[in-house]
Structure 1
Amino acid sequence: MTGGPARLVARPYTGSVTTYLDHAATTPVRPEVAAAYTEELGRLGNPSSLHGAGREARRRLEEAREQLAAAIGAEPAEVVLTSGGTEADNLAVKGAYWGRRATDPALRAVAISAVEHHAVLEAAEWLGEHEGADVTQLRVDSDGTLDLDHLDEVLAPGTVAVVSTMWANNETGVLLPVPEVAARAHAAGVPVHSDAVQAVGKVPVHFARSGLDAMTLTGHKLGAPVGTGALVARRDLTLTPVEHGGGQERGVRSGTLAVAGARALALAVELAVADQEAEADRLRGLRDRLVAGAVSAVDGLRLTGPADAETRLPGHAHLTVADADVDAMLLGLDMAGVAASSGSACQAGVQQASHVLVAMGRDPQEARSALRFSLGRTSTRDDVDAVLAALPSVIENARKAYATRRPRPAATSGSVA
């Protein structure tokens, strides 16, 4: 037997995905975005350099910044380019907390919704563990709607440094009342950040009108490559850098700026926003067809979120399935050529009880038995029909798997009264 670590051999995926309904995880790059990205990759120049090639790169970068800002109702100077949503969320939560604490040490609390993406949730928890922050998770009701009265209670002591609440939940698609949160927090003198990764390009998003102080967006949910994103932050919001280096991006996000990524992100956002209204109507029709067909074909399916479809993302269909094994459901759908998920794709592929559903009052088993179908620009009626054709047998097999794995009650002796 030889020593040394075992080698992991990567094997290509040989399955056939004919129905992709996991756009909330990532979505195809738009052809026109890919073309702009590829064109830029053929050019030379660091936008921080002073020579001609550097100045030309800077010009293209700033044009992309202006293009992005115009699409989301922001000023170009408010756009801080990042590598994606996770980096932007960390900069917003940690940076705002540190920035506020520097001026007032009494501001030691962070308030986040209980259904946040892990990028916000774990950033806040890190501040609690390493910086002594008092972290409060704002309650939601059984539909996933934020409890604004609880927010008022949390703000009342006057110790909150920053509030963060997402615009649209990545698992359920439920829209949170961001403008109301911003108004209440500002009345208490507290800045507000929102993770709008799932919202931009899917529902109307206008940074200036929202009342927010900071907002996160990412490219790969909109038709841009992975590794592109931005934190939109008001100039009067003090942010302490999370990482240090050359002092780019207002001195809060160091690192050589990726012109190709900036151009791709700006174009993808512009196109998504331009198509948003018509695309929302189209996706809403497909989503409603999927939900109605699934609920009528299979007993024990439950739609997550409010009954009012206008308070959910137009392309999200989140269903909990009674007495079914989630791994068996996802595997069965995959074998049928359908790509779906049980929730966020950012948890290293590990299926576990959804903290979102637990916060909504679901029991742990139900919180592990959810299916998320998220539709996007390439989704069609044929995709929906393919899901509806596969779903009954997939769930039947998943329920058999659940019955097999379900712990049996311990044997008892004697009679039962």
Structure 2
Amino acid sequence: MTHGEKNEAPMREVYLDYAAATPVDPEVAEAMLPYLTERFWNPSAPYARAREVRDDVERARGTVARLIGARPDCLTFTAGATEANNLAFAAVEGHVVVDAIEHESVLACAGTHARRTVRVGADGIVDAAAVARAIRPDTELVSVELANGEIGCVQPVREISRVVATERARRLEAGEDTPIYLHSDASQAAGALSVNVATLGVDLLTLSAAKIYGPKQVGVLWASEDVRLRPLVYGGGQEGGVRSGTENVAGVVGFARALELACERRGEEGRRLAGLRERLREGLLARVPSMVVTGPKSPKRRLPGLLHVSFAGVEARRLVIALERAGVSVGTGSACAASRMRVSHVLEAIGMPRELAEGSLRLTLGRGTTEEDVDYAVEAIADAVRAEMARVGTDAAAMAALAGGWGRR
């Protein structure tokens, strides 16, 4: 019997969508629990117990700041990365520059400004020289993510920071007073890469707890002291008046602990995930040689736990359903941008042919992934692809022809 037959209980449950959501780490949950029970006090209240909780929030802020090489008073906790990105763009009124494969929250924010969008190559990498050409005298913000959560490319943010610094110096010398800042959404990168703000050379940085085994709906925006943030939410004046509302104490504490663990485990876990990713890639290519792998060739430019694959002429939606029946949960990097039934803007931006984009899967590995999980997933995915090929009457040669030589193996 195949993995995908109806009424057959899955032999194994394998989760391969860690880029979408990570489980809360047990140590993070343990750190959060007191603030959901006995330490429930409002940090803004005047009595001693509330002040203790306020101190706990500030200790967590200090931990996050230390881990990214920042000052605590430059951090604003938010209800997730999307809000943090909105807050970053609200800090400027003028022209902005973004690249074409940014997260939709960044692209939507850019859409409220005059903007230029920088194209990317087939590997998804942003060219720093193209960013330099896109900057105008009235550009106030450049936003480039540290790593893309769909195809896994790691962007040259440090190079782009030098472009922004050069333009800032030119303006200073010319007596121009228009500021220019560099923002980076590092939400997908923080579990695998250093997010030290000085090393990156950024002026604003977005992080999300939900991507690093912390709680959902908790994010942070770091902004240098040169950036003046404008509130999106008004009220009680919390977060230095930038983000009003009673603090999510449990979430903030959980965020700090999650980032600590991510930094402690980053090296060893990154090497483990890279090995599993290659095991997955090689296993799939051995069974479906016509599969196309998307993203940069250099391991240094790729997130260790992300593999984006495409099968020309096959519908990813049907693969997802078949794999779910087999106990394997995967994300699509493709066909419908989930429920909207359209090809992902990322795949469009890198020039992937539609026939290939519609058969794309994003496979992301995490702390819970084992070699046995990978081996099971390889067989399940290969079975599902072969079943779809048989259903639509295609073969490996036809798949390769539809791909049109695009991408790599």
- The interval holding the TM-score normalised by the smaller chain is 0.7 to 0.9
CA distance in 2, matches of 1:345, 1:241: 36
How many Å separate the matches in 1 of 2:42 and 2:335? Answer: 33
3-state SS of 1:48 partner: coil
Q: Does 1:52 align with 2:52?
A: no
Matched, 1:83 2:79: yes
Q: 1:17 to 1:352 in 2, by over 3 A?
A: farther
1:295 corresponds to 2:285: yes
Q: Does 1:196 align with 2:186?
A: yes
Letter in 2 for 1:183: R
| Gapped regions of structure 1 (runs ≥ 5) | 1-13, 99-107, 128-132, 405-417
CA–CA distance in structure 1, aligned partners of residues 12 and 104 of structure 2: 28
* Alignment partner of 1:121 is 2:107: yes
1:365 aligned counterpart, secondary structure = helix
Give the structure 2 partner of residue 21 of structure 1.
16
> Once the two structures are superposed, what CA deviation does each residue of 1:362-399 show, in whole Å capped at 9, x if it has no partner?
12232222111101111110111011111222012233
1:252 is aligned, of 242, 257, 276, to: 242
CA contact (8 A) 2:10 2:326 kept: no
Instruction: Tell me if 1:70 matches 2:66.
Output: yes
Following superposition, the deviation at residue 356 of structure 1 comes to 0.7
1:261 and 1:344 mapped to 2: Cα distance?
32
- SS of the residue 2:241 aligns to: coil
Please say which of residues 213-222 and 235-244 is displaced more in the overlay: 235-244
Counterpart AA for 1:113: D
The CA deviation string for residues 7-36 of structure 1, in whole angstroms up to 9 with x for no partner, is: xxxxxxx98971011100001111111111
- Counterpart code for 2:321: L
Structure-to-structure mapping, 1:6-405, within 5 angstroms: 18-42=13-37, 43-93=39-89, 95-98=90-93, 108-125=94-111, 127=112, 133-155=113-135, 157-189=136-168, 190-343=180-333, 349-400=339-390
CA deviations on 1:56-96 (whole Å, 9 max, x unpaired) are 11101001111111122222112110111111111112x22
User: Percent identity at matched positions?
Assistant: 39
1:84-135 CA distances to partner (integer Å, 9 max, x unpaired)?
1111111112x2223xxxxxxxxx311111000111111211x1xxxxx322
- Measured in 1, the distance between the counterparts of 2:231 and 2:366 equals 34
Distance 1:143 1:220 in 2: 26
Distance 1:242 1:346 in 2: 31
Task: Describe the SS at the equivalent of 2:384.
Answer: helix
User: Which residue identity does 1:121 align to in structure 2?
Assistant: L
CA displacement, residues 327-347 of structure 1 (integer Å, 9 cap, x when unaligned): 111111111110111139996
SS in 2 for 1:318: strand
List alignment gaps of at least 5 residues for structure 2: 1-8, 169-179, 395-409
**Root mean square deviation, CA, Å:** 2.0
Structure 1 residues 185, 17: closer, same or farther in 2, change over 3 A? Answer: farther
Could you tell me whether the CA contact under 8 Å between 1:78 and 1:232 is conserved in 2? yes
* TM-score of the aligned structures, taking structure 1 as reference length: 0.86
Distance in 1 between the 2:298 and 2:160 partners? 20
Letter matched to residue 52 of structure 2: E
Q: Could you tell me how far apart the structure 1 residues matched to 2:318 and 2:95 are? A: 41
Distance 2:162 2:91 in 1: 18
How far off is 1:214 after superposition? Answer: 0.7
Q: Distance in 2 between matches of 1:374 and 1:116?
A: 18
Q: Distance in 2 between matches of 1:391 and 1:325?
A: 13
The 1:279–1:36 alpha-carbon spacing in structure 2 relative to 1, beyond 3 Å, is: same
Contact 1:304 1:318 (8 Å CA) reproduced: yes
TM-score normalised by length of structure 2: 0.87
| Conservation of the 8 A alpha-carbon contact between 1:17 and 1:339 | no
Alpha carbons 1:326, 1:398 under 8 Å: kept: no
CA contact (8 A) 1:224 1:268 kept: yes
